[in-house]
Structure 1
Amino acid sequence: MNSGERKVIHIGLPELGEEELIEIGELAQKVIIEHIFDVLSRSDVKDIEVTTRINRDETLDLEIEVYLEVPVFVRVDVDSLISEALERAYESVEKKLKALAAKG
């Protein structure tokens, strides 16, 4: 039996250039993966997938989806770990957006 969790968060973005949007998505992915591997060793992770998408509807949103699968013998609250990783990603994206706004 495996433990797998998938979560999605939406972050509202200001109008940004294409390069800045890519940078924001890459930053979010990097922070999430680093946080998960700060807690778990590589051998504890069966599968990890971090997807970022930019949605341009009424607002510009960064959608982050995280899927993490660990073997059943790995004693970790996967749901909490993903939530923490997403929270860190959100904080990092927010800091980056403030830095971009200060430049602008």
Structure 2
Amino acid sequence: MASGEKKVIHIGLPELSEEELIELGELAQKVIIKHIFDVLNRSDVKDIEVTTRINRDETLDLEIEVYLEVPVFVKVNVDSLINEALERAYESVEKKLKTLAIKD
């Protein structure tokens, strides 16, 4: 069973440095992977891919794409697991943004 989910997080803070943007993307990836492996054993995951991209248009967006493939015998709702992981990533990015805003 495979599933992919894509979510765009609107940051709206174009004054962030390149370093801070990379840090936010890495944070989102770590949180997603940690959440998935908190629920599943490594042997339960056939394939996992977490991609983050920064898009600079009128707003600054952090785009997160998650692909997760598990064997058919693993009883887990993959879409639900991905959505939970994305929510955790969103919360972590939001907290990080607040600490960055306080520093400035």
Q: TM-score, normalised by structure 1?
A: 0.97
Q: How many angstroms apart in 1 are the aligned matches of 2:86 and 2:8?
A: 10
Alignment partner of 1:91 is 2:91? yes
Runs of 4+ in 1 over 4 A off after TM superposition: none
Q: How many angstroms apart in 2 are the aligned matches of 1:43 and 1:6?
A: 19
SS at match of 1:85: helix
Question: Equivalent residue for 1:7?
Answer: 5
Measure how far apart 1:65 and its partner are. 0.1
Measure how far apart 1:40 and its partner are. 0.2
Q: How many angstroms apart in 2 are the aligned matches of 1:66 and 1:11?
A: 14
Question: Equivalent residue for 2:45?
Answer: 45
CA distances 1:14-40 after superposition (whole Å, capped 9, x unpaired):
121000000000000000000000000
Measure how far apart 1:58 and its partner are. 1.1
SS at match of 2:9: strand
Question: How many positions carry a matched residue from both structures?
Answer: 102
- Return 12-21 or 22-31, whichever deviates more: 12-21
Counterparts of 1:34-73 in structure 2, within 5 Å, are 34-73=34-73
Name the one with the larger strand percent. 1
SS at match of 2:55: strand
Q: How large is the RMSD of aligned CA atoms in angstroms?
A: 0.5
Measure how far apart 1:11 and its partner are. 0.9
Measure how far apart 1:57 and its partner are. 1.0
Unaligned runs of 5+ in 1: none
